Amino acid sequence: MNELSILIGGKAGFGIDRSGLLIANILGRMGYRIYIYRDYPSIIRGGHTFSIIRASERKVACHKNKTEALLALNQETLDLHKDKLTGNSVVIYDSDSVKADNLPPAVKSIGIPAGTIIKEENAPEIMRNSCLVGALCKAERVPWDILDKEFRDDFKKYIDINLKIARRGYDSAQESYTVAPLNQKVLPLVTGNEATSRGLIKGGLKTYISYPMTPTSPILHYMAAVADRFSLKVVHPESEISVILMALGASYCGDRVAVGTSGGGFCLMTEGLSFSAMAELPVVIVLGQRPGPSTGLPTYSCQTELHFALNAGQGEFARLVVAPGDAEEAHQLSQIALDLAWKYQVPAIILTDKDLGEGTYSFDEGSLPEVRRAEIHAWDGRSPYKRYLDTETGVSPLAFVPQKGNVIKINSYEHDESGLTTESPILTKKMQDKRLRKEKYLAEELAGYETVKIYGNKNSETAILCWGSNKGVCVEAAEKLNLKVVQPLYMSPFPAMQLEAAIKGVKKLIAVESNAEAQLVKLINLYGLGVDETVLKYDGRPFALDELEARLREAGV
């Protein structure tokens, strides 16, 4: 078996995420490429939560609805997901709390008395998941030493008791099918949030400021954990308004700074975003999309904030907006966003979502080209210093406090080249032209980057247009259906010419988006481009591979 999907589920608080990562790491050690989809409610305990771990000999970045193994820690998991079973599936369940009745005839079931084992070993209730993970490894003919090593590397405490429970589950199970090791390089597993964090750090990040908000809270946790290692300043203020204003203060002092939030927090940051543009203080905002309006579905995903990111803030100003589609792109585009924000002294927004940020991927950093660090326009030290000096590109020389003999004045009001407030119509137009001029030069620089990617059959007359986290599922579906995939990475300045070139010769263009209004389609309409069909999903859940294949066939593929 060179590919399989495993679903493990139970109540929130049952350790489902940890167990899913354990399974993924075990398979990753065997050379498999991994993707994990996490589904959980917005409550601390109770409610149904599950993870789908997909392992393949090739790179994958989406999940499938059908599963080869289902691990049920409670009855609800089996009842909700037994429709995902196939004739080759195996169900592993806690026989002390789950009844595996009415399963499809060919499905194998392995009942493990996990509750009894826990009591006999006087172990915590949460270790039932270790018992089922052990049983899974036996069912898949995974050697015990691989499980043993993973547990010893993963658990910092309670190693012996966890291994004892896992061993009893292993010994209680029966072999079902063989998951053989692959002769491939073992790749580390990272979430999209971790990849974004590492990219920002590699891009020279000095300060990270955030108020916790799903799905970007893990970035704050990661940054805090590695702060000493990378000499980072990591701050958790009392609100998103404080976050953006503190970030602008850090930027004024010369720190490369980033913040993380979701839609509700970004709402509160919009005046600060405009402040960033007027004062020309570079800042990077990681915007993790989730369904709304209002609080919406706090722990689920969408692509509904593209136009919010493009148009947020009062007034007109240049901004950089990027939309990575997987862990490698999150790592690379985060570096680029930080770099170009500082080169052009503009705000930059990294558009992610829950599926990208909290999805787990096999990460191949070695496949990425190095991002060349751009030089900022630094002041040459000659007096008098003009913070907003009008230049050909609109980018003024930077100096940071304290600067002996010079005042470095920033201003959120309209101002002259020295930063002094003005209401002169002549100066107002001059300074606005200066700021807007940056977009032209930023767009010209982006022409040297890969702004639009093409996958699949590049000669196909039918193509999928996608963006963000839908990349993985679209690429794989296109390969199965012999289609072309076109994925813009930059949303502002928008690479209209590159997109037009990418869809040249395409007779049928189908947009795939996780929103109700086809927001990317609306954007390309502004540039005279259009699509023939849309395939939209907006229930908070991502497209599964088999689901998207069916939807594309319905669209006439």
Task: Tell which residue, 148, 123, 194, has the closest CA to residue 22.
Answer: 148
Question: By C-alpha distance, which of 300, 277, 255, 266 is closest to 469?
Answer: 300
Res 78: pLDDT: 96
- What are residue 285's phi and psi, to 5 degrees? -115, 120
Write down the pLDDT at residue 423: 97
When pLDDT is averaged across residues 377-404 and rounded to a whole number, the result is: 91
Strand runs labelled E in 163-204: 189-191
Confidence of residue 488 (pLDDT cuts 50, 70, 90): very high
H or E element, residue 509: strand 508-513
At 12, is the pLDDT very low, low, confident or very high (cuts 50, 70, 90)?
A: confident
pLDDT the model gives residue 509: 98
Give whole-number Cα distances, 505 to 219, 498, 508, 537, in Å.
41, 14, 9, 27
Do 408 and 416 contact (CB within 8 A), yes or no? no
Mean pLDDT, rounded, for 541-557: 96
Distances in whole angstroms, Cα of residue 91 to Cα of each of 41, 49, 141, 484: 24, 17, 15, 37
The residues, ordered by sequence, that sit 6+ positions from 528 with a Cβ below 8 Å of its Cβ are none
Residue 480's pLDDT is what?
96
**What's the length of the chain?**
557
3-state SS assignment for residue 146 = helix
Residue 383 has pLDDT above 80, yes or no: no
Share of the chain above pLDDT 90, in %: 92
Residue of 521, 489, 543, 492 lying closest to 324 (CA atoms): 489
pLDDT, mean of residues 383-396: 94
pLDDT score, position 1: 67
**What pLDDT shows up at residue 240?**
97
- Assign 283 to helix, strand or coil: strand
Strands (E), 196-306: 207-210, 233-235, 257-262, 283-289
Instruction: For the chain, list the domains and their CATH numbers.
Output: 3-172 (3.40.920.10), 189-367 (3.40.50.970), 377-449 (no CATH), 452-554 (3.40.50.920)
Structure tokens of 413? 């009001």
Whole-number Å distance between alpha carbons of 471 and 168: 41
Q: Of 175, 172, 166, which is closest to residue 112 (Cα–Cα)? A: 172
pLDDT in tens, 147-172: 999 999 998 889 999 999 999 999 99
Q: Are 285 and 350 in contact (CB under 8 A)?
A: yes
CB 68 within 8 A of CB 90: yes
Tens-digit pLDDT profile for residues 521-544: 999 999 999 999 999 999 999 999
User: Using 50, 70 and 90 to split pLDDT, how confident is the model at 404?
Assistant: confident
Q: Please report where in the chains the tokens 């190693």 appear, as a residue.
A: 159
Compute the half-sphere exposure of residue 446: CA atoms within 13 Å on the CB side of its CA: 29
Which pair of tokens denotes residue 197?
A: 């964090």
pLDDT at 7 > cutoff 80: yes
Task: Please report, as a single letter, which amino acid is at residue 241.
Answer: I
What letter does residue 32 receive in the DSSP assignment?
-
The whole-angstrom separation of Cα 293 and Cα 482 is 37
pLDDT digit string, tens, across residues 31-49: 999 999 999 998 877 789 9
Confidence band for 87, pLDDT divided at 50, 70 and 90? confident
What pLDDT digit, counting tens, does each position of 305-363 carry?
999 999 999 999 999 999 999 999 999 999 999 999 999 999 999 999 999 999 999 99
**Residue position matching structure tokens 């859940």:** 541
* Residue whose C-alpha is closest to residue 37's, from 8, 63, 3, 9: 63
Which residue carries 């993790």 as its tokens? 288
Q: Name the helix (H) or strand (E) containing 485.
A: strand 484-488
Provide the β-strand partners of residue 362.
189
360-362 and 189-191 strand pairing: antiparallel
CA pseudo-torsion sign 29, 20, 17, 328: positive
Half-sphere exposure in the Cβ direction for 345 (13 Å, CA) = 26
d(CA 434, CA 415): 12
What radius of gyration do the chain's Cα atoms show? 26
pLDDT in tens, 414-454: 999 999 999 999 999 999 999 999 999 999 999 999 999 99
Residue 445 has a pLDDT of: 96
| DSSP-derived pairing of the beta strands 320-322 and 490-492 | antiparallel
Q: What is the pLDDT of residue 101?
A: 87
Which H or E run includes 48?
strand 46-56
pLDDT for residue 388 is more than 90: yes
Among left, alpha and beta (phi > 0; psi -120 to 50; other), residue 80 is alpha
Token pair in block for residue 415: 């101002």
pLDDT in tens, 240-266: 999 999 999 999 999 999 999 999 999
H or E stretch at 335: helix 327-344
Cis peptide before 384 (omega within 30 of 0): yes
Which amino acid is located at 131 in the chain?
C
Cβ atoms within 10 Å of 365's Cβ, excluding its own: 16
Q: Note the pLDDT tens digit of each residue in 112-144.
A: 999 999 999 999 999 999 999 999 999 999 999
Residue 389 has pLDDT above 70, yes or no: yes
